[in-house]
Amino acid sequence: MPPSKGTGDSPAGSYDAIVVGAGVAGLYALRRLRDTLGLKVKVLEAGDGVGGTWYWNRYPGCRCDVESLEYSFSFDDALQQEWSWPERYGNQPEILDYVNHVADRFDLRRDIQFNTRVTAARYDRAGGRWRLDTAGGESFSAPICIMATGNLSVPRVPEFKGLESFQGRWYHTGMWPQGGVDFTGLRVAVIGTGSSGVQSIPIIARQAKQLTVFQRTANFILPAQNGPMDRARETRHKAEYTERRRAAYDTPFGIAGYPPPTRSALDVPAAERNAIYERKWAEGGSISFLYSFTDLLTNQAANDTASEFVRDKIRAIVKDPATAELLCPNDHPIGTKRLVLDTGYFETYNRANVTLVNARTAPIQEITPTGLRTTEAEYAFDAIVFATGFDAMTGALKEIDLRGADGLTLAEEWRDGPHTMLGIMCAGFPNLFMITGPGSPGVKSQMILSCEQHVDWIVGCLRHMRAHDIATVEPTRAAQEAWTRHVGDIAQMTLYPKANSWYMGANIPGKPRVFMPYVGGVDRYKRNCDEIAAAGYPGFVMTPRAEPMPRPLVAAAGND
Ligand code: NA7
pLDDT tens digits, 183-234: 999 999 999 999 999 999 999 999 999 999 999 999 999 999 999 999 999 9
pLDDT bracket for residue 29 (50, 70, 90): very high
Predicted local confidence at residue 546, as pLDDT: 83
pLDDT bracket for residue 134 (50, 70, 90): very high
Residue 217 Cβ < 6 Å to ligand 1? yes
Q: Do 290 and 323 contact (CB within 8 A), yes or no?
A: no
Residue 558 has pLDDT above 90, yes or no: no
Task: For the chain, give every domain's residue range.
Answer: 13-154+392-544, 163-231+245-386
Residue 59 Cβ < 6 Å to ligand 1? no
Neighbours of 336 (CB within 10 A): 22
**Cα 404 to Cα 382: distance, rounded to the nearest angstrom:** 47
Average pLDDT score, the chain: 95
Residue 342 has pLDDT above 80, yes or no: yes
| Amino acid identity for residue 8 in this structure | G
Ligand 1 centroid to Cα of residue 388, in Å, is: 4
Q: Considering only CA atoms, which of 376, 378, 412, 377 is closest in space to residue 397?
A: 412
Name the β-bridge partners of 385. Answer: 171, 190
Residue range 334-350: average pLDDT?
A: 97
278: Cβ contacts below 8 Å, ≥ 6 apart: 309
pLDDT bracket for residue 552 (50, 70, 90): very low
pLDDT bracket for residue 50 (50, 70, 90): very high
Q: Which of 54, 190, 196, 219 to mutate to test the pocket of ligand 1 (most atoms within 8 A of CB)?
A: 196
Q: Write the CA distances from 142 to 12, 145, 476, integer angstroms.
A: 11, 7, 22
**Cα 297 to Cα 503: distance, rounded to the nearest angstrom:** 15
Predicted local confidence at residue 10, as pLDDT: 52
Ligand 1 centroid to Cα of residue 172, in Å, is: 11
Predicted local confidence at residue 547, as pLDDT: 66
pLDDT bracket for residue 13 (50, 70, 90): very high
* CATH architecture observed for domain 13-154+392-544: 3-Layer(bba) Sandwich (3.50)
pLDDT digits 0-9 by tens, 353-400:
999 999 999 999 999 999 999 999 999 999 999 999 999 999 999 999
Q: Write the CA distances from 529 to 151, 369, 526, integer angstroms.
A: 20, 53, 5
CA atoms in the 13 A half-sphere facing the CB of 371: 16
DSSP 183-203: -TT-EEEEE--SHHHHHHHHH
**Cα 541 to Cα 298: distance, rounded to the nearest angstrom:** 36
pLDDT digits 0-9 by tens, 472-486:
999 999 999 999 999
Q: Do 97 and 88 contact (CB within 8 A), yes or no?
A: no
Read off the pTM: 0.94
**Cα 494 to Cα 519: distance, rounded to the nearest angstrom:** 9
Ligand 1 centroid to Cα of residue 404, in Å, is: 32
Residue 511 Cβ < 6 Å to ligand 1? no
| Amino acid identity for residue 274 in this structure | N
Q: Closest residue (by CA) to atom 26 of ligand 1?
A: 194
Q: Do 111 and 124 contact (CB within 8 A), yes or no?
A: no
Q: Residue 127 in 3-state DSSP?
A: coil
Residue 197 Cβ < 6 Å to ligand 1? yes
pLDDT bracket for residue 3 (50, 70, 90): very low
Residue range 256-268: average pLDDT?
A: 94
Q: Do 136 and 85 contact (CB within 8 A), yes or no?
A: no
Neighbours of 86 (CB within 10 A): 10
Residue range 540-560: average pLDDT?
A: 61
Predicted local confidence at residue 43, as pLDDT: 98
